[in-house]
Amino acid sequence: MALVLTEEQSMLRDSARGLISDKAPVAHLRGLRDSKDTTGFSRELWKTFAEMGFSGLLVPDQFGGSGLGCVEAGIVMEEIGRTLMPSPFLSTSVLAASALSRGGSEAQKAQHLPKIADGSLLAALAIDEGAKHRPLQTKLQATRAGNGFKLSGDKAFVVDGHTADLLIVAARSAGSAGDKNGLTLFLVDPKAKGLTVERTAMVDSHNAARIVFDNVEVDADSVLSEVDQGFGLLEGVLNIGRGAVASEMVGLSDEVFGRTVTYLKERKQFGKAIGEFQALQHRAAELYIDIEITRAAVLKALQALDTDIAKAATAVSVAKARAGTTATLAVQEGVQMHGGMGMTDQFDIGFFMKRARVCQELFGDSNYHTDQLASGKGY
Amino acid sequence: MADLEKFRAETRAWLEQNCPPEMRKPMTSDGDTFWGGRNTKFSSEAQRVWFERMRDKGWTVPHWPKEYGGGGLDGEEAKIVRQEMAAIGARQPLTSFGISMLGPALLKYGTEEQKKEHLPKITAGLIRWCQGYSEPNAGSDLASLQTRAVGDGDDYIINGQKIWTSYANYADWIFCLVRTDPAAKKHDGISFILFDMASKGVSTKPILLISGYSPFCETFFDNVRVPKSHVVGTVNRGWDVAKYLLQHERAMISGMGERGVGRPLGQIAADSVGADTQGRLDDAQLRSQIANFEVDEAALAAAAERAVDLAKAGQSHPAFSSAMKYYGTELNKRRYEILMSAGGIDALEWESDRSKGGARPRAWLRTKANSIEGGTSEVMLGIVAKRILDLPGA
């Protein structure tokens, strides 16, 4: 498979870019932040996303979606990264759609996937519990009770958890923290008794929640895939999410870089454009190279996910690790090269810096994925 | 697609049958590289057999036209051959500056006669080429070169000195930049010319490097007579040919790190520093350096693959090889810093058989030239800033 976009994929990128840059430039996010919008994204725009087939991108044809792959999801994420558009695309269309279509029973698929595709159902994946992403350390307890289970414990950093109509929750049904066996994924109604959702305002003005489970009852039908054997499904879904977030960071980095190079050409000091100074030229060139190499690594990972998800782990770790360090570099150089203007809220560059920090933590930061690669190679 | 899958299956079967087992092992010394040329010798029977089989199939240079001894493969097919060779660890049957540097320039700028004369001798490994570019006073500022070619009837008389001429003492012919119009602006009076190193007036003197090896020479021209018909491209427009060739040279240098072959760095390090009960290297900082390196190495491999695919799709920037050259050479230097650190005092032995004559420290020192030869890292960043980012005054 060539590491370039096909004609169809280029068309998808163009239509996503057209819509997102038109309807959701950075000013869109700024407006939602300044008005302390309780939803945190535009439901109207989400409807348009559904009409254009984006929300059901990963939903199989027979459930009303487009049946496309991770490369296509990455293309949309990259465009989202360029304007930092807040939307349920990652939580619902990438993570939940993948979890349901890969692990759901026929009944679960038929119940939820068409609604994801038509934009009427919002879903969220509840994984993290501690300060750092450690899926194997999941402690939220699932105890058998009657025909089903009772869930107790806390979840944090649940992306779009405050608006979700459906939660997909990782819980420990057997074994102890650190074990691969004994994890189970549950489909949970956020309105269930004993469940409390607290929207958490985050540094990047995007949407997340903390959720407390206090003996929340779920029936046996709510199990996604197999009891105690949810880790394989979860890891696959997380890898898809990691590839998607890496794509968002490529878009974000590229946009910050483009804005920075423009500034280097416009801003004059000492009687000339600051872009004439070799000290800045070489840093700009290094950043460009870093972004291009990361872009290739991310596309490689997305293709690997579409080809054979069971063998994609290393490529995904490379992509997420690289994307994290590249985005961190891009936003730091972006602010520095914009000088004092880069420090002002009025300038958009700070929004990119804040979002990059959040994307780093999402589904494992660069350190996590670099360590995963080393462990995977046995050293 | 089905055709390509068939081609892949056939390629795999052919390689399986024709690549000798010895030629699937990682190279351990300079002698394992076969460079061809008039005075060459094979270091083993397996090396000879492998070279001849690949030559006869046209696969010493799979993507060159068949009429010049290539395989006539398109980009996708050539990629499959590379992938299938890599999959079994097959060595390059023939390495030469004729393949990686002169050939692409001749294919673009050469006359039909020049192509017919030189390309088949490159693919067949008959002639070994060297590159006459740098001079003592023309390094990063290559276009200020002063080697003179003065017309004399149908010939030029060449006088001057080149430096850092790789393997000039083993080479049969040279592709050389000479000044044919000293009155013109520095980029405009240069010509690209080919001549036999056995010509009267050519001499070479190897330069001893910090590695203890002498891969580079000083090369002197004292009234060397060369037919004017040996100029490639237009007289005084040699800079165009030189730049085009440099793009290919930089792409080659960026790929010099022996990616994905041999034992993984983590295992090499475990031999000397040991591992804890969970199998983790007993040096957390080194483990982290290796892991970071491997992330970047895998990303670079993807970028190299993408660069080829972009070129094939007509979407690549001509200066992108400078970006790859910068990153690839800096990464290769990192690899050898890690290897030295991992080896500890064992990597400091310079002469013993135990250390294969100090192979590791000598290779480590050799890599320091990577970010200098073919254009320094600083020159590469300048090219990216100017030609790709369009920054002012660069």
Q: Identify the CATH number of the domain in which residue B280 sits.
A: 1.20.140.10
CA distance A116 to A96: 9
Weakest-pLDDT range from A66-75, B8-17, B38-47, B266-275: B266-275
pLDDT value, residue B261: 53
Q: Is residue A106 part of a domain?
A: yes
Highest mean pLDDT range out of A315-324, B253-262, B354-363? A315-324
One domain, residues A221 and A340: no
Q: Residue B221 and residue B200: Cα distance in Å, rounded?
A: 9
Residue A248 included in any domain: yes
User: Chain A residue closest to B297 (CA)?
Assistant: A318
Kindly tell me if the per-residue pLDDT of B260 is higher than 70: no
Residue A164 belongs to a domain with what CATH number?
A: 2.40.110.10
B376 contacts in A (CB within 8 Å)? none
Smallest CA–CA distance, residue A245 to chain B, in Å, is 17
Confidence of residue A288 (pLDDT cuts 50, 70, 90): very high
Identify each DSSP E strand in chain B by its residue range. 129-132, 148-152, 155-166, 173-179, 190-196, 202-207, 216-227, 231-232
Instruction: Judge if A329 and A372 occupy the same domain.
Output: yes
CA distance B115 to B103: 9
d(CA B85, CA A99): 38
Closest to B165 in 3D by CA, of B101, B120, B122, B105: B101
- Domain assignment of residue A215, yes or no: yes
Q: What is the pLDDT of residue B259?
A: 53
Tens-digit pLDDT profile for residues A130-147: 999 999 999 999 999 999
Q: Is A5 on the interface with B (CB under 8 A)?
A: no
* Spatial separation of the C-alpha atoms in residues A364 and B144, rounded to whole Å: 52
**Arithmetic mean of pLDDT, B141-167:** 97
Cα atoms in the Cβ-side hemisphere of radius 13 Å centred on B191: 24
Axis-axis angle for helices A26-34, A70-83 (nearest 10): 70
Across the interface, whether the CB atoms of B279 and A379 are under 8 A apart is answered yes
Helices B2-18 and B75-87: crossing angle in degrees, nearest 10, is 40
Candidates A281, A287, A311, A367: best to mutate against B (most CBs of B within 10 A) is: A281
CB contacts < 8 A (A, B):
138
Check B299 against A296: CB less than 8 A apart: yes
In terms of domains, do A254 and A362 share one?
yes
Q: Record the tokens describing residue B247, joined without a space.
A: 């793009």
Q: Of A325, A327, A335, A357, nearest to A259 (Cα)?
A: A335
How far apart are alpha carbons A207 and A200 in whole angstroms? 7
Rounded-to-integer distance, Cα A171 and Cα A192, Å? 16
User: Which of A293, A311, A316, A328 to mutate against chain B (most B CBs within 10 Å)?
Assistant: A293
The answer to whether B61 and B252 have CB atoms below 8 angstroms apart is no
Q: A132 and A110, same structural domain?
A: no
- Which chain A residues in 250-269 lie under 8 Å from chain B, judged by CB atoms? 261, 264-265
Q: How far apart are CA B37 and CA B33, in angstroms?
A: 13
This prediction has a pTM of: 0.93
pLDDT digits (tens, 9 = 90+) for A165-182: 999 999 999 999 999 999
List chain A residues with CB under 8 Å of B296.
293, 322
Percent of chain A with pLDDT over 70: 100
pLDDT at B278: 85
Based on the fold, state whether residues B220 and B271 are members of the same structural domain: no
B176 falls within a domain: yes
Residue A32 lies in a domain: yes
Confidence (pLDDT) at B263? 75
- How does DSSP classify residue B324? H
| pLDDT of the residue at B256 | 60
Query: Does residue B118 sit within a domain?
Result: no
Strand A272-273 and strand A166-172: the pairing is unpaired
What value does the mean pLDDT of chain B take? 93
What range does the domain containing B313 cover?
Answer: 255-388
Whether residue B63 has pLDDT greater than 80: yes
Nearest CA in chain B to A378: B279
Contacts of A34 (CB under 8 A, 6+ apart): none
Answer yes or no: is pLDDT of B174 > 70: yes
Instruction: Write out the two tokens for A225.
Output: 């895939």
Residues of B in contact with A374 (CB under 8 A): 266, 280, 287-288, 290-291, 294
Are residues B384 and B262 part of one domain?
Answer: yes
Considering the domain architecture, whether residues B212 and B162 belong to the same structural domain is answered as yes
Domain assignment present for A1: no
Q: Which residues of A touch B277 (CB under 8 A)?
A: none
A166 within some domain: yes
Which stretch of DSSP H or E encloses residue A152?
Answer: strand A148-159
Does one domain contain both A342 and A208? no
B-chain residue closest to A297, CA distance: B299
Instruction: Give DSSP secondary structure letters for A283-340.
Output: HHHHHHHHHHHHHHHHHHHHHHHHH-GGG-HHHHHHHHHHHHHHHHHHHHHHHHHTGG
Same domain, B147 and B232: yes
Query: In the numeric block, which tokens belong to residue A80?
Result: 């989202």
Q: Does residue B245 belong to any structural domain of this protein?
A: no
- Whether the predicted pLDDT of B262 surpasses 70: no
- Which of B267, B327, B382 has the CB atom closest to A289's CB atom? B327
Under the banding of pLDDT at 50, 70 and 90, the label for residue B257 is low
Last residue of a domain, one of A73, A96, A122: A122
Domain-located, residue A2: no
| B258 has pLDDT over 70 | no
Residue at a domain's end among A229, A259, A292: A229
CB B197 within 8 A of CB B181: no
Least confident of A181-185, A242-246, B90-94, B310-314: B310-314
Backbone angles phi, psi at B40, to 5 degrees: -75, 155
Measuring CA to CA, which residue among A109, A108, A97, A368 is closest to residue A237? Answer: A97
A371 and B CB contact within 8 Å: yes
Angle in degrees, CA A316, A90, A289, rounded to 5: 45
Among A208, A229, A250, the domain-final residue is A229
| A83 min Cα distance to partner chain B (Å) | 22
pLDDT at A232 exceeding the cut of 60:
yes
Using CA atoms, how far residue A284 sits from A133, A251, B317, B328, B391, in Å, is 32, 17, 17, 18, 9
Query: What is d(CA B281, CA B275) in angstroms, rounded to the nearest whole number?
Result: 4
> With 70 as the cut, is the pLDDT of residue B303 above it?
yes
Three-state DSSP state, B275? strand
* Minimum distance, in Å, between the CA of residue A188 and any CA atom of chain B: 37
Tell me: do A173 and A236 sit in the same domain. no
CATH code, domain with A18: 1.10.540.10
Question: Does B249 fall in a domain?
Answer: no
Number of C-beta neighbours around residue B5 at 10 A: 10
Nearest to A4 among B287, B296, B310 (CB): B310
- Does residue A51 share a domain with residue A18? yes
- Sorted by sequence, the CB contacts under 8 Å of residue B51 that are 6+ apart come out as B34, B42, B60, B93, B94, B125
Contact B256, B210 (CB under 8 A): no
Beta-carbon separation of B287 and A2 below 8 A? no
The verdict on a CB contact (< 8 Å) between B299 and A297 is: yes
Residue B30: give its domain's CATH number: 1.10.540
Residues of B whose CB is below 8 A from A369: 295
Q: Which residue of B has its CA nearest to A264?
A: B391
3-state SS, residue B222: strand
What pLDDT score does A290 carry? 98
Answer yes or no: is pLDDT of B393 > 90.
no
Phi-psi region of A175 (alpha: psi -120 to 50; beta: other; left: phi over 0): left
User: A220 in contact with B at a CB cutoff of 8 Å?
Assistant: no
Give how far Cα B243 sits from Cα of A56, A125, B108, B142, Å: 49, 53, 12, 10
Contact partners, residue A7, CB within 8 Å, separation at least 6: none
Predicted confidence (pLDDT) per residue in A95-121, tens digit: 999 999 999 999 999 999 999 999 999
CATH for A371: 1.20.140.10
Q: Is residue B104 part of a domain?
A: no
The single residue listed with the structure tokens 């799979």 is: B62
In Å, how far is A196's CA from the nearest CA of chain B?
40
| Distance from C-alpha of B113 to C-alpha of B122, rounded to nearest angstrom | 15
pLDDT at A91: 98
Domain identity same for B11 and B135: no
* Contact yes or no for B360/B29 (Cβ under 8 A): no
Q: Which domain holds residue A34?
A: 7-122
Q: Which is it for the CA torsion A274, A278, A282, A285, positive or negative?
A: positive
Classify A29 in phi/psi space as left (phi over 0), alpha (psi -120 to 50) or beta: alpha
CA distance A350 to chain B (A): 23
Domain count, chain A: 3
User: Do both A23 and A89 map to the same domain?
Assistant: yes
pLDDT at residue number B28 = 77
Q: How confident is the model at residue B21 (pLDDT cuts 50, 70, 90)?
A: very high
Structure tokens at B76: 């996708």
Is any Cβ of chain A less than 8 angstroms from the Cβ of B394? yes
Residue B254, pLDDT > 90, answer: no
Is there a contact between B327 and A314 if contact means CB atoms under 8 Å apart?
no
Contacting residues of A for B275, CB less than 8 Å apart: 379
Specify if B113 maps to a domain: no
Q: Are residues A88 and A117 in the same domain?
A: yes
d(C-alpha A90, C-alpha A248), whole Å: 10
> Of A155, A167, A160, whose CA–CA distance to A129 is shortest?
A155
Question: Which two tokens mark B340?
Answer: 């030295």
What would the two tokens of residue A259 be? 């804005």
d(CA B55, CA B61): 8
Residues of A in contact with B74 (CB under 8 A): none
Pair A179, A74 in one domain: no
For B67-90, what is the mean pLDDT?
92
> Within a 13 Å sphere around the CA of B175, how many CA atoms are in the beta-carbon half?
27
B1 falls in which pLDDT band (50, 70, 90)? low
Same domain, A172 and A258: no
Shared domain check, B283 and B183: no
CA distance, residue A13 to nearest chain B CA (Å): 16
Which residues, in sequence order, are bridge partners of residue B173? B129, B196
What value does the mean pLDDT take over residues B105-128? 97
Rounded to whole angstroms, the Cα distance separating B357 from B350 reads: 6
Q: What is the ipTM of this complex?
A: 0.95
Phi first, then psi, for residue A167 (nearest 5°) are -110, 140
B372 in the same domain as B271: yes
| Whether residue B205 sits in one domain with residue B317 | no
Q: Are residues A266 and A357 in the same domain?
A: yes
Lowest mean pLDDT segment, chosen from A246-255, A357-366, B252-261: B252-261
- The count of structural domains within chain B is 3
CA distance A246 to A324: 7
How sure is the predictor about B29, in pLDDT bands with cuts at 50, 70 and 90? confident
Q: Which of B302, B385, B393 sits opposite A285 (nearest CB)?
A: B385
Question: Is residue A213 situated within a structural domain?
Answer: yes
**Are residues B384 and A285, on separate chains, in Cβ contact within 8 Å?**
yes
Give the angle B390-B392-B394 at the CA atoms, nearest 5°: 85
Q: In chain A, what percentage of residues exceed pLDDT 90? A: 99
Mean pLDDT of chain A: 97
Chain A residues in contact with B291 (beta carbon < 8 A): 370-371, 373-374
Residue type, B83: Q
Contact: A4, B279; criterion CB under 8 Å = no
Q: Would you give the end-to-end CA distance of chain B in angstroms? A: 45
